[in-house]
Amino acid sequence: DLGSISVIVPKSMANSLLNTRTISYAGCVSQVFLFFLFCTADLAFLTIMAYDRYVAICKPLHYEIIMNRRACIQMAACAWAAGVMYSALHTGNTFSLPFCHSNIINQFFCEIPQLLKLSCSDTYRRELAALAFSAFLCLSCLAFIVVSYVQIFTAVWSIPSEQGRQKAFSTCIPHLIVVSLLLSTAVIAYTKPISDSPSPLDLLAAVLYSVVPP
């Protein structure tokens, strides 16, 4: 979370304070790669957190065995590896395109849909491939989280203590809110048509998925 907002917010604030609207090509590439790296790792960790809650609530007596140190290190390593691969794929896919239409991005950071709009080659197939891969990743994580929470809530309703149920819900609800906000706003931002002029809706969607969840 700290990494994803550190990639885009300080540069945006510096541009605002210095009254400039520029970013170098290398800076834009770095911003795209690091932002996708942290966001993908974030989604992976949110998925792992759902599994952690499932084990803690549904299999409490086996928690120490299942969620041991080795398992935690392996899951963390997989989350970061997925982030690196996904980010490298999207960054390479985007910046291998020739840019010739303009050098103006109608966004407060280097966002891929805005960058694709500046390309002078046909980006339809690349957009479709990137969208399909992103949809597969997000839906896989979402399906895992939903299945985990169905089993969690089934177990919570069987807890006889009202205090116990409240404790379980207070642990799970904030996590669900962050996951829902992150995925819903990201889907809107990356699937809706890109407007030719700056749009308040584009800015709002970008803020909601890139700044608010962290």
SS (H, E, C) 23-66: CCHHHHHHHHHHHHHHHHHHHHHHHHHHHHHHHHHHCHHHHHHH
Is 95 buried (19+), middle (13-18) or exposed (0-12) by CB count in 10 A?
Answer: middle
The pTM assigned to this predicted structure is: 0.83
DSSP SS3 for 160: coil
Per-residue pLDDT of the chain (214 residues; tens, 9 = 90+): 889 889 988 888 888 888 888 888 898 999 999 999 999 999 999 999 999 989 988 888 999 999 999 999 999 999 999 999 989 988 888 888 888 767 778 788 888 877 877 877 776 676 677 777 777 888 888 899 999 988 988 888 877 777 777 877 787 888 888 888 888 877 777 777 666 666 777 778 788 888 888 8
Buried b (16+ CB within 10 A) or exposed e, 50-59: bbbbbbebee
Report domain extents, the chain: 2-210
At residue 209, the pLDDT reads 80
User: How far from 115 is each of 53, 170, 183, 209, CA to CA, in Å?
Assistant: 38, 40, 21, 18
Instruction: Classify domain 2-210 by CATH number.
Output: 1.20.1070.10
What number of H helices and E strands is found in the chain? Answer: 8, 0
Q: 146, 135, 152: which is closest to 187 by C-alpha?
A: 135
Query: Which of 14, 16, 12 has its CA nearest to residue 35?
Result: 12
The pLDDT value given to residue 124 = 62
Res 72: pLDDT: 94
Q: Per DSSP, what are the bridge partners of residue 99?
A: 119
Q: Distance (Å, rounded) from C-alpha 36 to C-alpha 49?
A: 20
Rg (CA), the chain: 20
